[in-house]
Amino acid sequence: MTGEIFRDAWGIPHLRADGARELARVQGRVTALDRAWQLEVERHRSQGTSASFLGAEALPWDRFVRRARLDDTARRCFDALERRDPETSEWVRAYVDGVDESLAEGARRSPEFAQAGLAPAAGNPGPRSASGSASTSSSRASRPSSGVSRSYGISAPTLSGCSPPTGPRPPAATAGW
């Protein structure tokens, strides 16, 4: 057995795998199938681009996230995780690999994508950015050297070395962008 998903009569997924890494991959697949829209919204929220499809009411959040450099901070946290705990970072990568495997299928099942005129960003291996759920505490295109580029409902661990970045801040989002 590598990894398998069984859904009971109520649609609840039950997962089986040979090991923790494979179980993480299968959990990522299930998350993408069941929560593709949520993953995409959280990716935009972590990058400060949610107003592009949610409208002007999302601008305050986008401004905050860009000023706080949330996505950048999450990338640096994952880089620190890779250095300090390779086993856990591999688990996170396996989860994201599973999300990547099933995200397109999950998006086809989610009517919100068509309604908003969005498609999930192209998949890539490696954690997309732990920032998606680090910013929201909820349950993705080239690959940077750290492998981090998109948000998938994963929690970023608290690590020393993950302090906010220094240097110039990006410009705040405005209604005209």
Gyration radius of the chain over CA positions: 16
Give the tokens for residue 42.
């959280």
Contacts of residue 19, defined as CB under 8 A and 6 or more positions apart, other chains included, come to none
CA 105 from chain center: how many Å?
16
Question: What confidence tens digit (pLDDT) does each residue in 102-157 have?
Answer: 999 999 999 999 999 898 875 443 344 444 433 332 333 323 333 333 444 444 34
pLDDT tens-digit readout, 78-100 = 999 999 999 999 999 999 999 99
Q: Name the percent of the chain lying above pLDDT 90.
A: 62
**What gap in Å lies between CA 132 and CA 70, rounded to an integer?**
9
